[in-house]
Structure 1
Amino acid sequence: MYKVMLVDDDYPVLQLLSETIEWEQLGVSLQSTHENGASAFEKAMDEMPDILITDIGMPKMNGIELTKKLKSQNPNLKVAILSCHADFGYAQQALKLQVQDYLVKDTFDPDDLRNLIKKFKDTLDKQNNRMIRHQQIQNMLDRNKESVKERFIKKTIEQPDINEMNWLAEAKSLGIHLDQSGYIGSLAMIHNYSTLKELYLSEDTLNFAINNVVAEEIERCYPGSVHFQHGAKELFFFFPSSLILKRNALSDVSEGMKRIQHALKRSLNITLSFITGDGCTNMHEFKQELLLLLNCSHQSFYLNPGTIVERKEPKEAPTEDLFSKYDEAAAEMRELIMLRDESRISEYVNKWVAFLEERQFTPELVKDWVLKLLLDLRVKLHALQLFRSQQTFDYMHNEIFDIQFIDELKTWLINYFKAILSFVKEVYEQTKRKEILDAIKYVTVNIEKKISLDEVSSHLYLNPSYFSRLFKKEVGETFVEYVTKMKINRAKELLEQTADSVGKICERLGYDNQSYFIKIFKNYVGVTPIEYRGGKS
């Protein structure tokens, strides 16, 4: 709705117009009324009106001066002069300022003002529609230009044989002038992309907004630079630089990247990290720059938000096997969930993320490791009837492998464990079998100790006979059978995930007699522990 400002030093006139004109019915709102031009101007600096209706002769600032100042701020402002002056000189000044109408109070009819407001509104509607159409066309052209640039980069990366003359001509049309300057390339990565996409409702809208801000900032702070969208979450930047003094060039480029970071953070609350390349002076070096930067996924995975770093050679794989730590991490995770202590979630996640950052395992290995932990946890919670997930395995797999940075993985894990813990707590609060759930929790936490029926019933303050009958009724098997089954499942995990001998596993699980352990293992699994381990290798 268009805003109207009414200015007149004659208060009865202000009151009359305020109450007589049906502003809302005319499709406008009366923004404010003022008794002098200075007050009106101050208000307009906070909230510019679309329509100004003003007297001429007023204290502090007259209507002509007010109109002139507001027109300099808003050239599309519609102005009607309402004055007792019929003098041609005043009318002439008003016409020079492109005032749309000049109404004399002595012969004023409210219908004249109503008609004038309708005319103003129609004119503003037409102007806005033209502006919208123009902006839509401009947006379409901008999107098309970004698509052309994205296809150019994709073709440069993927095509083995490129006609250099044609490539240079196309590069020049997009702003890359390798015949005039060298360029330092960099790969920019968008943090928390999934969250941003939800906020902006679509990938297309988000990327369009990013490209607009980037283009404006490049033009302002580093003219001649060119950026290219690469997929949804990454952009390539090429900054024109003299590569003779590369260290100086990198310093200048770094300042440009900082400005781009600040502009995106300020305008869209978006965080970028950059990895800079070695520089290029011809088509082959340009392509090599692209390929080397794309091969930095290991380095980029461990970047903190808002980082600017130089490209490093790919790291050698750590000598330590990540899966050798699996058993320890899984045991701590199960204990965390079974104890239902939300305060320990961040501590647990921070500990293991710090371990991953220190060792710098490959992103693919880290995600495989995390996914296995979470899937094993789901299986155990399902078996304990403590969790029913609506998410499929593929959904969880895609979510984890879509994560680009270690800090995003940390946030995701904390939120995931909080959701699991909340569900487990809800089950505990609603179930009628609290004693059974507490018994199951006790067994899970103490699975590598000797566990007896008397010990658990005492822990629950229940009579052993009553507890035994209750457990059999609720679970469908005796407590001893349940404990044995859980210990055998744990033995299978240890055989798969550790190099511990059968004797050590037997001892870890609280069995005094190895022969007895092997016998019950075979009864449950169908093969001996050694055969089971051999079949899994």
Structure 2
Amino acid sequence: MYSVMLADDDYPVIELLSETIDWETLGFRLVGAFENGESAWEQAQLEAPDILITDIGMPRMDGLELTARIKERKPGARIVILSCHNEFKFAQQAMRLNVQEYLLKESLDPEDLVRLLLRLKEGLDEERQLNGERLRLRALASESMELRKEQTIKNFIHQPLLSPEIWKREARAYGLFLEGECCLPVIAYVEDYLHVKHRFASEQTLRFAVANVLKEVLGHLEARALHVGYCERRQLLLFPYKPSLKTNIYETVENSLRTIRETMRKVLKIRLTFRIGSECDAPEKLKRQLVELVSDEGQRFYLEPGDIARSRHAVLSQQDLFACYDAASSELREAIVGKRPEDVRAAAEVWMERIRQERYPPAAVKEWVLKLLLDLRLKLFSLPFVRSGYSPETLHKEIADIGSLAELREWLIGHLMTAAEGTGAAPYSKRYEVNEACKYVSLNLNRKIGLEEVAEKLHLNASYFSRLFKKETGVTFIEYVTRMKMERAKELLDQTQHTVGEICELLGYDNQSYFIKTFKAHTGLTPMEYRG
């Protein structure tokens, strides 16, 4: 299904096209109808349309400027100019912008536009098929090479090293242990893996995206490096180098990792955390280092997202975490029943900070948190929270995918906040689908949330879900998402030292000015004015 955007200050025209054309039946999704170019551009920055139908003369931004901006953002977008201007200069400007069609309003027939849309759809279908085939062939070739390299390194890590010299000769094909060189291994962890995996739809897509970006950035680093995709959540980077008194390899590698970290954050919106091993002058030592990096999760669990740390043995507490279980359960239950989400967050933060300071074994912490959450569900059985689709098996699977205390903290708080909202802070409906949608929003405030995405998860038609949500809650789904994001923004402004730009990213907004404008519309103040 292709997205279509309408932009025209002539409201009757927008109304005619919105209501007359059966967009879904034709294979299109109408993402918005706007009465000025600036509003259309704000939406296009969130989701650039496949087809733009726009007037030329509009307030605040005309159709030609809007077209140029969308073309810059999405070169393959199809443009249809719908205007009352029949002068040659306007048509000439439109042609320079590679506009597919220039129609006059006075002679417009919706049936003509339908035929044009179907023609554009054919072209988009052909382009998508061609691009898909090219990408598939390229991906297969790249994937085959990557898999061979990954398997070679995994065998090296997990199988006996029978002949270091033979392996050393084989490793030279990958640029390792060349004459006089040593190697410094690094492991990179993908943070917030649950959300990242959901955003990329499949693990294969995630692996391909990460490998492509790393391949690009490694080609521009001062230090030479080999990337090995050990698994979706963990990546290995091997830095070959010649020992020298003039060069501190750790500083060089740390600088390279900062570049990688920033590039991954900007391009893929993925945060990486790194552990740097020790210098290895022989295959035997490299093998020991890699085994330690991929198996020792104690230090990794307590790293903060984005850390670049040198590997060391983690000293973990021998105390029994479950000795304070009853106290934690009681405090959190009282906070949830008190219907104040800020109290729930504060109570959870206190216990997570205690765990961080004491450094309990990660497996014990996960077991403690899972038992805590399941027990709260049983004790608060009357809340909508319990009627969610999260079974004990689902929660167990999710917590197994969590690699750090920082991720575990947000995961737990997300579920507890949903419970608190279920007591009255969030709109409660007798309809299971609406409650599930509200819970889904609460757990995914850190990214863009679309109506169609949620409708698909609930196995509902998007239009039906939209009407159902509005009927049950009194607000549209998008209004509800915005309201929840703005409430979370207020919490972050009140309780953290994050900058406005960082909060904008934490809530899944790409455009800071749009975020500020939305916040002001919700509160009457800009974020900085609100923080005071």
- Normalised-by-shorter TM-score class: 0.5 to 0.7
2:250 aligned partner, one-letter code: L
Asked whether 1:310 is paired with 2:303, we answer: no
State the Cα deviation string for residues 385-423 of structure 1 (Å, max 9, x = none): 984454332222221222111111111111101222233
Asked whether 1:219 is paired with 2:222, we answer: no
State the Cα deviation string for residues 475-527 of structure 1 (Å, max 9, x = none): xxxxxxxxxxxxxxxxxxxxxxxxxxxxxxxxxxxxxxxxxxxxxxxxxxxxx
Partner of 1:490: none
The aligned runs of 1:246-257 (5 Å cut-off) are 248-257=248-257
1:321 aligned partner, one-letter code: D
Assess, with a 3 A threshold, how the Cα gap between structure 1 residues 45 and 310 changes in structure 2: closer, same or farther: same
Assess, with a 3 A threshold, how the Cα gap between structure 1 residues 340 and 222 changes in structure 2: closer, same or farther: same
Using the size of structure 1 for normalisation, the TM-score is 0.55
Quick one: distance in 1 between partners of 2:132 and 2:329? 57
Query: Identity of aligned pairs, percent?
Result: 28
1:270 aligned partner, one-letter code: I
State the Cα deviation string for residues 165-210 of structure 1 (Å, max 9, x = none): 4422332222323434111110000011121111111111111011
Partner of 1:396: 395
1:253 aligned partner, one-letter code: V
CA RMSD of superposed structures (Å): 4.5
1:419 aligned partner, one-letter code: T
Partner of 2:346: 347
State the Cα deviation string for residues 111-137 of structure 1 (Å, max 9, x = none): xxxxxxxxxxx9999999877655432
Quick one: distance in 2 between partners of 1:367 and 1:276? 25
Tell me the CA shift for residue 384 of structure 1.
9.2
Partner of 1:191: 191
Partner of 1:59: none
Assess, with a 3 A threshold, how the Cα gap between structure 1 residues 129 and 173 changes in structure 2: closer, same or farther: farther
Quick one: distance in 2 between partners of 1:303 and 1:168? 33
Tell me the CA shift for residue 425 of structure 1.
3.8
State the Cα deviation string for residues 204-245 of structure 1 (Å, max 9, x = none): 111101110101111111463101011210001011223454
Contact 2:223 / 2:252 at 8 angstroms: preserved in 1? Answer: no
Quick one: distance in 1 between partners of 2:356 and 2:52? 58
Structure 2 gaps, min length 5? 3-50, 57-63, 79-91, 99-121, 431-532
- Residue 186 of structure 2 aligns to a residue whose secondary structure is strand
Assess, with a 3 A threshold, how the Cα gap between structure 1 residues 173 and 247 changes in structure 2: closer, same or farther: closer
Tell me the CA shift for residue 30 of structure 1.
11
Partner of 2:230: 230
Rg larger in 1 or in 2?
1
Quick one: distance in 2 between partners of 1:255 and 1:397? 37
Assess, with a 3 A threshold, how the Cα gap between structure 1 residues 245 and 302 changes in structure 2: closer, same or farther: farther
Tell me the CA shift for residue 314 of structure 1.
2.8
Tell me the CA shift for residue 427 of structure 1.
12
Contact 2:273 / 2:308 at 8 angstroms: preserved in 1? Answer: yes
Contact 1:275 / 1:293 at 8 angstroms: preserved in 2? Answer: yes
Quick one: distance in 2 between partners of 1:180 and 1:307? 31
Assess, with a 3 A threshold, how the Cα gap between structure 1 residues 321 and 223 changes in structure 2: closer, same or farther: closer
Assess, with a 3 A threshold, how the Cα gap between structure 1 residues 340 and 230 changes in structure 2: closer, same or farther: same
Assess, with a 3 A threshold, how the Cα gap between structure 1 residues 338 and 428 changes in structure 2: closer, same or farther: farther
Using the size of structure 2 for normalisation, the TM-score is 0.55
- Residue 267 of structure 1 aligns to a residue whose secondary structure is helix
Partner of 2:337: 338
Contact 2:203 / 2:232 at 8 angstroms: preserved in 1? Answer: yes
Contact 2:183 / 2:281 at 8 angstroms: preserved in 1? Answer: yes
1:300 aligned partner, one-letter code: R
Aligned residues: 343
Quick one: distance in 2 between partners of 1:388 and 1:124? 43
Partner of 1:325: 324
Partner of 1:356: 355
Partner of 1:414: 413
Quick one: distance in 2 between partners of 1:287 and 1:241? 17
Quick one: distance in 1 between partners of 2:70 and 2:422? 50
Contact 2:383 / 2:419 at 8 angstroms: preserved in 1? Answer: no
Assess, with a 3 A threshold, how the Cα gap between structure 1 residues 124 and 161 changes in structure 2: closer, same or farther: same
1:376 aligned partner, one-letter code: D
State the Cα deviation string for residues 126-157 of structure 1 (Å, max 9, x = none): 99987765543222111111111221121111
Asked whether 1:375 is paired with 2:374, we answer: yes
Quick one: distance in 2 between partners of 1:342 and 1:430? 19
Assess, with a 3 A threshold, how the Cα gap between structure 1 residues 358 and 123 changes in structure 2: closer, same or farther: closer
Partner of 1:163: 163
Quick one: distance in 2 between partners of 1:150 and 1:375? 38
Assess, with a 3 A threshold, how the Cα gap between structure 1 residues 147 and 222 changes in structure 2: closer, same or farther: farther
2:205 aligned partner, one-letter code: T
Mean alpha-carbon deviation: is it higher for 421-430 or for 390-399?
421-430
Contact 1:242 / 1:249 at 8 angstroms: preserved in 2? Answer: no
Quick one: distance in 2 between partners of 1:324 and 1:340? 27
Partner of 1:423: 422
Quick one: distance in 2 between partners of 1:429 and 1:261? 41
1:310 aligned partner, one-letter code: R
Contact 2:226 / 2:239 at 8 angstroms: preserved in 1? Answer: yes
Quick one: distance in 2 between partners of 1:417 and 1:32? 48
- Residue 230 of structure 1 aligns to a residue whose secondary structure is coil
Contact 1:387 / 1:424 at 8 angstroms: preserved in 2? Answer: no
Contact 1:387 / 1:423 at 8 angstroms: preserved in 2? Answer: no
Assess, with a 3 A threshold, how the Cα gap between structure 1 residues 425 and 249 changes in structure 2: closer, same or farther: same
- Residue 306 of structure 1 aligns to a residue whose secondary structure is coil
- Residue 380 of structure 2 aligns to a residue whose secondary structure is helix
Tell me the CA shift for residue 369 of structure 1.
1.2
Partner of 1:405: 404
Structure 1 gaps, min length 5? 2-27, 34-39, 52-62, 64-69, 71-76, 78-121, 432-537
- Residue 334 of structure 2 aligns to a residue whose secondary structure is helix
Contact 2:227 / 2:235 at 8 angstroms: preserved in 1? Answer: yes
Tell me the CA shift for residue 382 of structure 1.
3.2
Contact 1:350 / 1:410 at 8 angstroms: preserved in 2? Answer: yes
Tell me the CA shift for residue 353 of structure 1.
0.9
Assess, with a 3 A threshold, how the Cα gap between structure 1 residues 427 and 200 changes in structure 2: closer, same or farther: closer
State the Cα deviation string for residues 297-343 of structure 1 (Å, max 9, x = none): 1111111111101001231x325332221121111122122222222
Quick one: distance in 1 between partners of 2:128 and 2:224? 33
- Residue 378 of structure 1 aligns to a residue whose secondary structure is helix
Contact 1:228 / 1:237 at 8 angstroms: preserved in 2? Answer: yes
Quick one: distance in 2 between partners of 1:141 and 1:383? 54
Assess, with a 3 A threshold, how the Cα gap between structure 1 residues 294 and 428 changes in structure 2: closer, same or farther: closer
Assess, with a 3 A threshold, how the Cα gap between structure 1 residues 313 and 128 changes in structure 2: closer, same or farther: closer
State the Cα deviation string for residues 25-56 of structure 1 (Å, max 9, x = none): xxx999999xxxxxx9xx989958899xxxxx
- Residue 248 of structure 2 aligns to a residue whose secondary structure is helix
Assess, with a 3 A threshold, how the Cα gap between structure 1 residues 391 and 181 changes in structure 2: closer, same or farther: same
Assess, with a 3 A threshold, how the Cα gap between structure 1 residues 245 and 344 changes in structure 2: closer, same or farther: farther
- Residue 358 of structure 1 aligns to a residue whose secondary structure is helix
2:159 aligned partner, one-letter code: Q
Tell me the CA shift for residue 278 of structure 1.
0.5
